[in-house]
Structure 1
Amino acid sequence: MPADWILHVDLDQFIAAVEVARHPELRGCPVVVGGSGDPTERAVVATASYEAREFGITSGMPLRTAAKRCPDAVFLPSDPPAYEEVSERVMLVLRSFPVVVEVIGWDEAFLGVSCDADEHPEALAEDVRGKVLAETGLSCSVGIGDNKLRAKLATGFAKPAGVFRLTRDNWVEVMAHRPPDALWGIGGRTATKLGALGITSVGELARADKAALAERFGPTMGPWFRLLALGIGDKTVEATPYVARSRGRELTFQRNLTDRSEIEEQVATLARRVAQDVRAEGRPAVRVGVKVRFAPFVTQTRSVTLPEPTAEAGDIERAALAVLSRFEHGRPVRLLGVRAEFHRPDTKD
């Protein structure tokens, strides 16, 4: 449904906050979650508490690097089932309000709000923050917008534990001077390519020539980047439950793999485990991807669309091995991953 206001609720340092709630003695300490919780092993940071982030620790960073930056940090293993359980509790709290709730991940959701002209969405946002805190013990930030893009970006200005409104009225003031990758949907690589065109700010991207953008980024993506810079986004919030878009498994090796047959064996094993997850999900896979992290820390991904949707282990394994063959051979491998993607009903075939 189109909403008068859209609120984006984002739980603050969600995984770390769940762990601190389970271990209150860690409150105020630098906490890093990832892998088995052993910083001497090869694994990456899933999340870090704000105290740990002050040392420059970020998600995706090797645990060993995190340990060097903050030797006194507390390292904990990742526990996805626990995070899912807490997430469900939070979403139940959000559904207790007179809003439409669209869950988009463990730790975030859009709320579609219909209200009278004299009502202020900030009041609702504060009520949401208060109730989530009271019933789950977790802090959240709330972005308010007149579409999903602006609400999502507003949350970044609200963190931590705040409320911020970003609409057409203050879009230029807040966003025009920021780099293009401040936008939701534009990453660092795209920002670099835009910079090569002389576009170094959101304001410049909003004024960019559509034809030039289409020529550089394609007829779909180029103009879309310009729409992002103008703050144009979806205004519809759908009351649909969160549905996983994919299931994946990955494994970091304590010693680099160099033998091709061993690499293939590991990918086959991961693919069979993913197939089990796919069957448990009850939806067939339509695409299979493989991730390879070469030593020292170069990550590449490849994927292929399956001839037809399937949950058969043999089909997923063969597809994963076919994708693996597209990678460069002969380089030491420190991590392998296999992912099966499901059909998304909101996209066109």
Structure 2
Amino acid sequence: MVLLHADADAFFASVEQRDDPSLRGRPMVVAHEVVACPSYEARALGIHAGMPLRQVRRRWPQVLVTGYRSEAYEEASARLFEIFRRFTPLVEPGSVEEAFLDVTGRDRGDPRGLAVALRAAARAEVGLPVSVGVGRTKLMAKLASRRAKPDGLIVVDAELEARARPRLRLDELWGVGPTTYEKLHAAGLFVVSDLHGLDEDDLKPIVTTAMARRLVSIARGTDDATVRLPGPRRSVSATRSFAATRTRSKVVAVLDECVDRAVTRVLGLDGPPRLPNRLEVLVRYDDGAQALRRGPLEAPTLDPAVLRTAAGHLLEQTAYEDDGRGVSMVGITLPLPAPA
């Protein structure tokens, strides 16, 4: 198997720097009250996604700020994926700017050369830097692309994998979060080589059955190498983070904006429009807690006015105004029926 993990660097910020030459090489952020994406120049200062914009302005007044332009990012994403599919039809999206590509048999024995060509096409045709990792499994390809950033390429061949895999820290593994790692740490497991000789039954008292199975496969080098083609979208979502508030007009205005963005995304899908008959509203508070409310629509529709009204009713059900915590994010999800 030869897999690529292609990931556009600092995607939102790179699009802004592409479109505005005055931003290039300078610390800048894409933000709307909170940072959505810092450029690498801004990251070098210590700025990260989710940081309140007022904090950035106070501490780093030299940092440039641009707003969030969803249409520009969606257009850049579509063009990136056109390039990915030119190299192979076996493309599994991870997000709007990253994907796994199965290029087995298409690389003509030169995976580095193919990855170089893909990166050059993305730079020439979309104007964006794309880091690429090449590996035998998804894990190795993704770790390689992460190490290659920014704007780099790393190929993990069989020899390098044999040396690197046993030394991988468990908290580096894709899908191992802080809580899982704490449990593994407490059990004296720190790197992949510590898993050698263990089976699923040994790990089930420590982690979930699915995680135990995954860790054993990683230790044995038999982890996931299957690129799965996406089926029809089952839902479309839109969210936005902002400085924590309980002000009704602010929260409602942001939710209405999310509704409009979600409708635009549904209409942009291939094929005839699929009309949702229910919707979900998500509220996240400033302490990280979330409230999710679901409800049916009177009739399937993509009428923004109808959806805004229905979303507003679900928002009221969260009782966020009386909660005492500030709201820091709202979003909407439109579950979609299967294509006819």
TM-score band (shorter)?
Answer: 0.7 to 0.9
How far is 1:154 from its partner? Answer: 1.6
What's the secondary structure of 1:248's corresponding residue? Answer: strand
Kindly tell me: are residues 22 and 182 of structure 1, through their superposed partners in 2, closer, same or farther at Cα, counting changes over 3 Å?
same
How far is 1:139 from its partner? Answer: 1.2
Structure 2: distance between partners of 1:333 and 1:183: 33
Kindly tell me: are residues 117 and 77 of structure 1, through their superposed partners in 2, closer, same or farther at Cα, counting changes over 3 Å?
closer
Contact 2:187–2:206 (Cα < 8 Å) also in 1: no
Structure 2: distance between partners of 1:269 and 1:54: 31
Contact 1:186–1:225 (Cα < 8 Å) also in 2: no
How far is 1:333 from its partner? Answer: 0.9
What's the secondary structure of 1:220's corresponding residue? Answer: helix
What TM-score, normalized to structure 1? 0.77
**1:247 corresponds to which residue?**
237
Structure 1: distance between partners of 2:280 and 2:95: 21
Pair 1:301-2:290 in alignment: yes
Pair 1:257-2:242 in alignment: no
Q: Deviations over 1:259-296 (max 9, x none)?
A: xxx59x957983896498369723537773523223xx
What's the secondary structure of 2:331's corresponding residue? Answer: strand
**1:95 corresponds to which residue?**
85
- Aligned counterpart for 1:338 among listed residues 327, 331, 334: 331
Unaligned runs of 5+ in 2: 267-273, 302-306
Q: Deviations over 1:104-159 (max 9, x none)?
A: 32211222213279612111011111111111221111111222222222211222
Contact 2:282–2:293 (Cα < 8 Å) also in 1: no
Deviating more after overlay: 152-161 vs 111-120 = 111-120
What's the secondary structure of 2:47's corresponding residue? Answer: coil
**1:290 corresponds to which residue?**
282
How far is 1:52 from its partner? Answer: 0.8
What's the secondary structure of 2:34's corresponding residue? Answer: coil
Structure 1: distance between partners of 2:222 and 2:334: 28
Contact 1:180–1:229 (Cα < 8 Å) also in 2: no
Contact 1:285–1:340 (Cα < 8 Å) also in 2: no
How far is 1:75 from its partner? Answer: 1.1
Structure 1: distance between partners of 2:141 and 2:151: 15
- Aligned counterpart for 1:32 among listed residues 23, 29, 33: 29
Aligned residues: 325
Kindly tell me: are residues 272 and 328 of structure 1, through their superposed partners in 2, closer, same or farther at Cα, counting changes over 3 Å?
closer
How far is 1:7 from its partner? Answer: 1.0
**1:22 corresponds to which residue?**
19
Equivalent position amino acid for 1:222 in 2: A
* Percent identical: 30
- Aligned counterpart for 2:193 among listed residues 203, 206, 209: 203
What TM-score, normalized to structure 2? 0.78
Equivalent position amino acid for 2:63 in 1: A
Q: Deviations over 1:146-202 (max 9, x none)?
A: 222222222112222222123564335224334322111112232223222222223
Contact 2:240–2:254 (Cα < 8 Å) also in 1: no
Contact 1:32–1:52 (Cα < 8 Å) also in 2: yes
What's the secondary structure of 2:179's corresponding residue? Answer: helix
**1:38 corresponds to which residue?**
none
Equivalent position amino acid for 1:18 in 2: V
Unaligned runs of 5+ in 1: 36-42
Kindly tell me: are residues 239 and 334 of structure 1, through their superposed partners in 2, closer, same or farther at Cα, counting changes over 3 Å?
closer
Equivalent position amino acid for 2:276 in 1: P
